[in-house]
Amino acid sequence: MTKEAAQQAPEVPTVDIEALSAKLSNKNADYLFKFKRALQAEGISEEQQTAMLTEMLPEMLTAQHKGQPANQLYGSVTVKINSLLHAPKAPVKTSIQLQMLDNGLIFLIMYLAINGISAYFAKGKVTGIGITSIVITAVLAGVIMTYPMRYTQMPKDQRPPFWKMALIVVGLTLLFVAAYGVTILIPAVLNPVVPAIVQIVIAALLIGVRIYLKRRFKISGTFFG
């Protein structure tokens, strides 16, 4: 919970804070004193302090009866304050479309780099692969890789049957093979072989594009994390 969220939290039923505080042991009373002082230092309103104490005091007394002091129940005052006011936000789950985009870029970078470097050192001994073929196969590879990765990232109780995921991956793989075969038949005018050095430069530029998109949209859970 952030400081702002804490200040906007809904009202909770009140208890007799003074009466409950009086029942605390000396050790717990000292913990409560430091806790309240830390809340004041954070600028937390009286209403929010009351709401927090309303929740904490019954818990502290229950634990106290079991011989567990507050510093064992909650950790240090600093730890408790941080858990209430500065807890990290839950990460936003990356959409499947963004994961496909990132995976597709990864494969496009790899295909361009590998194809470009191979053609460069071959010195014209091979014709190379057309740019249209490279782009189509990279896109399909990105899509295919995303599904099994999403599957492994899902909680086990939410995963679809394994056979269903296997059928999807097999189907997409067959589509990948068929698509690659079709791209070979594309006329050279629509599937030109880009010079090796150009492919390498494009691959390098796409690395920068991927880094930007990954940071801009906080993409996670993809082929390279």
Question: What's the longest Cα–Cα distance across the chain?
Answer: 89
Both tokens assigned to 24: 């605390």
Angle at 146 between CA 173 and CA 93, to 5 degrees: 165
Contact predicate 129/166, CB 8 Å = no
Share of the chain above pLDDT 90, in %: 43
Mean pLDDT of 71-98: 82
Average pLDDT in the chain: 85
Residue 69 exposed, middle or buried by CB count within 10 Å (0-12, 13-18, 19+): middle
Least confident range of 120-124, 197-201, 214-218: 120-124
Residue 14: pLDDT band (50, 70, 90) is: low
Mean pLDDT of 87-99: 78
The predicted pLDDT at position 98 comes to 94
Mean pLDDT of 2-25: 64
Contact predicate 193/128, CB 8 Å = yes
More confident residue, 16 or 115: 115
Cβ neighbours, 10 Å, residue 38: 17
The predicted pLDDT at position 182 comes to 87
Provide the residue type at 198 as one letter: V
CA distance 105 to 96: 14
**Domain positions in the chain:** 3-85, 96-217
pLDDT tens digits, residue range 58-81? 999 999 999 999 999 988 988 888
The predicted pLDDT at position 192 comes to 92
- Selection from 88, 189, 102, 109 nearest residue 149 by Cα: 102
Residue 89: pLDDT band (50, 70, 90) is: low
